[in-house]
Amino acid sequence: MQIKSAEFVVSNSDVSKCPKDRVPEYAFIGRSNVGKSSLINMLTNRKSLAKTSGRPGKTQLINHFLINKMWFLVDLPGYGYARVSKSAKKTFQKFITEYFSKREQLISAFVLVDIRHKPQPVDLEFMTWLGEHNIPFSIIFTKADKLKPMAIENHVNDYRDVLLESWEDMPNYFVTSSSKEIGKDELLKYIDDTNTNLKID
């Protein structure tokens, strides 16, 4: 799949105000500063569709982008550390969980994790929460250009070992690098194939 158009539609913190269209949605979420905005810009061939920042916690709203007039890419606030007030952080968590619990258009979530680090409790807890709520998701390992191939394999295996302690299977996953465009074709093909299976015209 080639992304020919990517249009910003709406930002808000109220799930009831998200687009009413019966259009499939793919939600991108991860800890603050995991490289989510860079990944979205890489996938859509845009330099600043999603705002990148060196300051964690930049995304503070649910952002909908209409892709190829066929599906929504949803940019969600990071969970975990962010330099915002406790009350703001509680609001993030509330509308993040509301989004996943109530959004019928959601087809799959993509949970971004920095491949350079060992499995983090906050990421594992969030994946467990998605699993308990029967929300389909894939893992996107980011910043793969920072490691050599063997180190990448070792870090993926670290996640596999931890997840298989409580999961029957390793979740679907992608290894990506925004700067090198690693994983771009595989990720877009996955979304395209999923939309095809949904009989999207």
Q: Is 80 helix (H, G, I), strand (E, B) or coil?
A: coil
Kindly provide the residue ranges of all beta strands, DSSP E only, lying in 44-105, ordered along the sequence: 62-67, 71-75
Domain boundaries, the chain: 6-183
Least confident of 13-22, 54-63, 98-107, 157-166: 54-63
- Whether the pLDDT of residue 87 is over 70: the answer is no
Q: Write down the CATH superfamily of domain 6-183.
A: P-loop containing nucleotide triphosphate hydrolases (3.40.50.300)
Give the span between the Cα atoms of 82 and 55, in whole angstroms.
8
Mean pLDDT for the stretch of residues 88-92? 58
Q: What pLDDT, on a 0 to 100 scale, did the predictor assign at position 50? A: 78
Least confident of 5-14, 56-65, 111-120, 129-138: 56-65
Q: What pLDDT, on a 0 to 100 scale, did the predictor assign at position 83? A: 52
Give the span between the Cα atoms of 31 and 114, in whole angstroms.
9
Mean pLDDT for the stretch of residues 152-178? 96
* Residues paired with residue 64 on neighbouring β-strands, in sequence order: 10, 74
89-105 burial, b for 16+ CB within 10 Å, e for fewer? beebeebbeebbeebeb
Give the span between the Cα atoms of 100 and 96, in whole angstroms.
6
Q: What pLDDT, on a 0 to 100 scale, did the predictor assign at position 96? A: 87
Q: Sheet containing 106-114: which strands, arranged edge to edge? A: 6-12, 62-67, 71-75, 25-30, 106-114, 137-142, 173-175
Give the span between the Cα atoms of 63 and 11, in whole angstroms.
4
Q: What pLDDT, on a 0 to 100 scale, did the predictor assign at position 92? A: 57
Mean pLDDT for the stretch of residues 79-106? 74
Q: How confident is the model at residue 78 (pLDDT cuts 50, 70, 90)?
A: confident
pTM above 0.75, yes or no: yes
Mean pLDDT for the stretch of residues 5-17? 92
